[in-house]
Structure 1
């Protein structure tokens, strides 16, 4: 048997990519500061973002101290804590701490410490637990037959359905879509036979197209149904996406202004800090921060940002393939699904490619819970890469 060697390498390429995104984030928030001060005079967001990045870097250092394989022993604990926090928000508990923002019960607000959004951390917790579940199942049933594949699919579906239910109830459509993207990406590499996966994805795509078709055919009835279900915000955004001109002062308000801002940037942008105050884009520093980049730096600046994200996803895929441990590969695959979907959805909704959902742009949008979550995710990837084992005569 060939001698086993320990790599023990730090992935400086990945660190450099995250550093670039951090610089873009802080700089963009700095240029937005005069605009944001008119709305939030007591908060300096770029300073707060620097603090979140420092905290995230400390978390990465802590994560690197522990072999990621030991997470299998406590994966159920992470998942349980995440579900418990969502359950507490479901019951608006504890009073005074559970907080409603824009009609959604999705935050805890602590004195001095600020707000915490459990849905963000639940993304990583779900990835870790699903990875453990898949490895355990495949160890127990090494031969994939229809019965064992359906059993694994049921386990994955039930595990994901619990947090998805609580996010629907908040309501948090963006968070629901991210958890679905994570689950779908991990199913693809779970070992389940492709004919089963294609059937499930085909049925899901058919159901989505059917719902859209029914909405277009019976808009009034579907609108009444969504209102009764407490999903009025979903209807408003969907209407704004399909009929932008008709709903430009309601459901399409944010979309219209985002498109105007992006269009005004043209090829090379209007210059640093040159924002058109008349656009008055809601959530300029969070969900709509891509419009601030496009307005200042135009198509060229936007393309550079997209290229950096492409390099990030490429690097994650490279590490997932290089890892010889299924648990590590499954974790990175789930994180790839998370990052890819959020980048595509956030930028897509800014240019009317997709309906608007409340999703931040990873590593660039302002946010404590989201930034810490992404840094934890990168800490896991760096941990996995550091502990990749190679064998003599392997290609390095």
Structure 2
């Protein structure tokens, strides 16, 4: 039998990647300060972002004191806490605390603390819970049959559908897509037979293509249906994506301004000293912060940011493959799905590759709840890496 060795260590490569993203975030927010202070005179966003990174770092240090396997024991508690928070927002409770921002009931305004967005934390809670479900199922049913795989698929699907339903009611389309991405990624590695997965993915692909074709063919009828179902915001964003020039003063305003800003950066950007916010993008510091980077540092700066994200995903995949514990591997897979989708979606919506969904750019966009959520996720990965078990004769 191979000899087991617990080789406790810190992944400094991953830490350096996060530090690089944090520096980019804080510096970009600092350069945006003259513009932001005109709209938000009482806020200093780069200082607030530093505060959230400090809080996130403390959270990471606390996580490192515990073995990540203990998360299995409290996975139900985390999941339940997240669902209860979303349920409270669904009923706009408590009054004065549950808050509507830009038409979405997705925040708690806590006196002395600030705003808190439960949907962000639900991402990590769902990852932990789904990892526990998959491990528990595979331990109980080691033999994979079609019946047992479908049962596992049902448990994963139902667990994800509960928070997804509440996010559709806020409404938070971006959050719905992230939870869906997390769920799909974890299903792919759950051990479910590939013929079942391919059948489901094929059905989803056909459904998506059908929806797009129907919308293009019958836009008026589809918009009327969405309006009746209180989903008009979905149709508006989709229409703005397909026909931005026709909605230049409406839902496509941000998109058109963002593309102008990105294009104006050209190869090397305008630079910091000559940078002026000429395009007045409403969410320059949050959802559209990538446009600021592209405008100031051009194609070169944008490429560096994308390369850093590539290194982040590559490093996470590397750790997941080295992990000999299924629970740890499943959690990292969910975290990969969360980061990869948000990076692709955020940058994609800034260049009209994808519709606008209001998702922040991980670690760079301003946001307390989002930054803390990402740091918690990285804390879990660092904890898993720290407790990696290696065996004699392992190639690694």
Distance 1:95 1:182, change over 3 A: same
Residue 264 of structure 1 contacts residue 295 of structure 1 at CA under 8 Å; is this kept in 2? yes
Q: SS of 2:99's equivalent?
A: strand
Q: What is the aligned length?
A: 396
Report the counterpart of residue 202 of structure 2 in structure 1.
202
Report the counterpart of residue 299 of structure 1 in structure 2.
299
Is residue 364 from structure 1 mapped to residue 367 from structure 2 by the alignment? no
Q: SS of 2:20's equivalent?
A: helix
Residue 261 of structure 1 contacts residue 291 of structure 1 at CA under 8 Å; is this kept in 2? yes
Report the counterpart of residue 333 of structure 1 in structure 2.
333
Residue 99 of structure 1 contacts residue 108 of structure 1 at CA under 8 Å; is this kept in 2? yes
How far apart, CA to CA, are the structure 2 residues paired with 1:231 and 1:248? 21
Report the counterpart of residue 235 of structure 2 in structure 1.
235
Runs of 4 or more, structure 1, over 6 Å off, are none
How far apart, CA to CA, are the structure 2 residues paired with 1:279 and 1:226? 31
Distance 1:25 1:257, change over 3 A: same
Report the counterpart of residue 57 of structure 1 in structure 2.
57
TM-score after normalising by structure 1: 0.99
How far apart, CA to CA, are the structure 2 residues paired with 1:391 and 1:172? 45
How far apart, CA to CA, are the structure 2 residues paired with 1:252 and 1:2? 60
How far apart, CA to CA, are the structure 1 residues paired with 2:60 and 2:395? 28
Report the counterpart of residue 42 of structure 1 in structure 2.
42
How far apart, CA to CA, are the structure 1 residues paired with 2:108 and 2:122? 14
How far apart, CA to CA, are the structure 1 residues paired with 2:251 and 2:39? 22
Is residue 283 from structure 1 mapped to residue 299 from structure 2 by the alignment? no
How far apart, CA to CA, are the structure 2 residues paired with 1:65 and 1:293? 36
Report the counterpart of residue 342 of structure 2 in structure 1.
342
Q: For residues 28-39 of structure 1, what are the structure 2 equivalents within 5 Å?
A: 28-39=28-39
Is residue 376 from structure 1 mapped to residue 376 from structure 2 by the alignment? yes
RMSD of Structure 2 on Structure 1 (CA): 0.9
Residue 32 of structure 1 contacts residue 273 of structure 1 at CA under 8 Å; is this kept in 2? no
Report the counterpart of residue 145 of structure 1 in structure 2.
145
Displacement, 1:226? 1.3
Runs of at least 5 residues in structure 2 that lack an aligned partner in the other structure = none
How far apart, CA to CA, are the structure 1 residues paired with 2:143 and 2:393? 30
User: 242-251 vs 72-81, which deviates more?
Assistant: 242-251
How far apart, CA to CA, are the structure 2 residues paired with 1:256 and 1:2? 60
Report the counterpart of residue 385 of structure 2 in structure 1.
385
